Amino acid sequence: MSRDSQSTTQSSAGPIVGIDLGTTNSVVACFDERGPYILDEDAGPLVPSVVRYSSAGDTVEAVGVDARLRAVEFPDRTIASVKRLMGRSARDAASDQPFLSYEIVEGAHETARIRVGERIITPQEVSAEILRELKRKAEAALGTPVQRAVITVPAYFDDAQRQATRDAGRLAGLEVVRIVNEPTAAALAYGIGAGASAPQTIAVFDLGGGTFDISILAITPAEEDDNSPAGADFFQVLSTAGDTHLGGDDVDHMLFRLLATEISQQFDISLDRDVLDLTASIRQAIREFSESIKITLSAEESAHVRIDLGAGRFFERTITRDELDALLAPWIDQALVSCRRALRDSKLEASDIDRVIMVGGSTRIPLVRRRVGEFFSVAPYTALDPDLVVALGAAAQASILSGDDRSRLLMDVIPLSLGIETAGGAVAKIIVRNQSAPARAAETFSTSVDNQTSIKLHILQGEREMVEDCRSLAVFHLAGLPPMPAGIPQLEVEFLVDANGVLSVSAVEKRSGKRASLQVVPAHGLTRDEVERMETESLTHAREDMTRHRIVDLIANTQLDVKWIRAQLDRLSADLDPDYRADLEKRIAYLDDIITRAQSDWRSVDPEDFHSAKQALDEASVRMHEISIAKSLREDENHPA
């Protein structure tokens, strides 16, 4: 962890952490002057919400990753998806029993409980074990005891479910200082509502591994005379809808069914009640490949699978994103039905929604993002990791309760310039600092290498001229371009910073029409002192930075020019006067020497001399261009179409 544990949100009672106690995974986060951040470990930020008990049920054997990995070995005493049972009656929970590997029984007051061996365990006790693991993780990261937490719950949770969550926190040794709705937490993570002068209506689209929720929120900004400690912005859930059995698992099942059917047809393996008659290991392999394909196709256009079926049999298949999209269409339609119901219940139209926030790992699927954007006619917020955004919002709420004001650096003006990396490691600034937000700007670029089929876009923040001196925000690729000579592609890159400080970057190659985009939160993780330091450094190094940037650009442009002139020299070898050709070759050799020296040490080169030499070559080559055109015309006359 790279944060300074001494600067976290603390009081005399210690830090307040934010916890997303999820159905599939749980996350813990904290807050300091740089904003909310996840408390991470080598095992990763996500703690699987899975607990394994001993055969008698009297002790806990594993929590988190190990419990999930070995769930197949101990199905009847490995408890997962316990969130579904929190605060519910045994009768209400009966519909979940077919999806669970353990036994649900009725306890006191008709509540749902879990039988493990001879012991009856409450859902609160299981959740408490998950919370204890998160508490341990937070204490290890912060180096201090953690006794207080903000915990998130779905907006549809009733009083009994919320109280059960509080009870779980108490059993884990945590004071639950606030229960926060998950959609509210997601909005807080983006800073939506902070400093706004007018009400906003937000939709939070939460599509996880097993469940789907859509919540419509009305955010009312504080009155000027409101001195409430919570910052006074009022978040009201207008409506919520969803499906407790709609999620990424369904995608895995669809892909499993596709692969299973094709394997059975190709190798004449019988199907028994639509389930493959294969060994458990092969079935597990197909499940894992199904999930892997889903993940791959969220970033790539195709995914290849090769499955060893034993006895010298191998199944190979390439699945395209278009094929997956066709499978997913009815699945996404189900989610949009819930969106329509939520809008109807809130008496709103899709056009009334100002912002859409994407939550849950399944919202990484490109088709989901596209269909949701089309449904609400607004680009969804995807800058923050959908698996982590709720925990980050819980940490933001914790900071409010601690009395610490969140410093939203991008609320009024853009404090640091935003740009992309260009050839040679230079930075082309698209939006410059101190512009008012929202702000929009675009610039056109091209390639410096022949036949590129993918262009890397490296997004940077800072005032210096070189990549190494700026802060990296994100990298994404515009792929699938047709091969073209260097300098021919026309890549238009647009930056848009909205009023909430979210940067959207889009890129389109105009000749092919290929597009790509992403979102980031540019100021996240920077304090005001760090912004001021970066500004000061940019002034201190301004002259040498500009000189270096100029030389880097000269190298890139000169290399393209020299490459073209060399090609023409080869083509026109018999048409050029020897003295003229020798003059061009001498000028090229001189520039080659400058480029070599500049690449070794840019300070060894005089940029004015470099520019003059390049300009002289360009002017000298004009005659060769004319000869080339004349030769092409003669060739066309001799070989008419």
Residue type, 145: P
Q: How is residue 314 written in tokens?
A: 């191998």
Choice among 167, 206, 404, 465 that is catalytic: 206
Q: Which of 40, 129, 182, 213 is catalytic?
A: 182
- How far is residue 91 from each of residues 210, 212, 242, 343, 361, measured CA to CA in Å? 21, 22, 20, 30, 30
Which region holds residue 555: left if phi is over 0, alpha if psi is between -120 and 50, else beta? alpha
325 is catalytic: no
Catalytic pick from 20, 213, 465, 469? Answer: 20
Burial 487-510 (b: 16+ CB within 10 A, else e): bebebebebbbbbbbbbbbbbbbe
Structure tokens at 589: 């050799």
Is residue 20 flagged as an active site residue? yes
Catalytic residue flag (residue 349) = no
Task: Dig out the tokens for 89 from the structure.
Answer: 């009656």
Nearest-angstrom CA–CA distance, 309 and 317: 14
Side-chain-facing half-sphere of 111: CA atoms under 13 Å: 16
| Catalytic status, residue 206 | yes
Cα separation of 4 and 227, whole Å? 30
Judge contact between 150 and 174, C-beta under 8 A: no
The set of residues, in sequence order, having a beta carbon less than 8 Å from that of 456 and lying 6+ positions away, is: 421, 475, 476, 477
Annotated catalytic residue within 32, 33, 40, 83? 83
Compute the residue count for the chain: 641
Radius of gyration from C-alpha coordinates of the chain: 30
3-class state of residue 17 by DSSP: strand
- Strands 148-153 and 16-20, bridge-based pairing: parallel
Other Cβ atoms within 10 Å of 109 Cβ, number: 7
* Rounded Cα–Cα distance for residues 486 and 480 (Å): 16
Residue 459 CA to residue 357 CA, distance in Å, equals 22
Q: How far from chain centre, in Å, is Cα 362?
A: 11
Q: At residue 67, what are phi and psi to the nearest 5 degrees?
A: -60, -40
Dist CA 495 CA 460 (whole Å): 12
**Which amino acid belongs to residue 230?**
A
Distance CA 74, CA 302 (A): 36
Longest dimension (CA), the chain: 102
Instruction: Report H helices in 54-203.
Output: 65-69, 90-93, 123-142, 159-171, 182-189
462: its two tokens: 């800072």
* Beta-sheet strands, E only, within 128-266: 148-153, 175-181, 200-207, 212-220, 234-243
Evaluate whether 447 touches 422 at the Cβ level (below 8 Å). Answer: no
Q: Measure the CA–CA gap between 101 and 79, rounded to whole angstroms.
A: 8
Dihedral (Cα; 436, 439, 443, 449), 10-degree rounding? 100
Residues with a known catalytic role:
20, 83, 182, 206
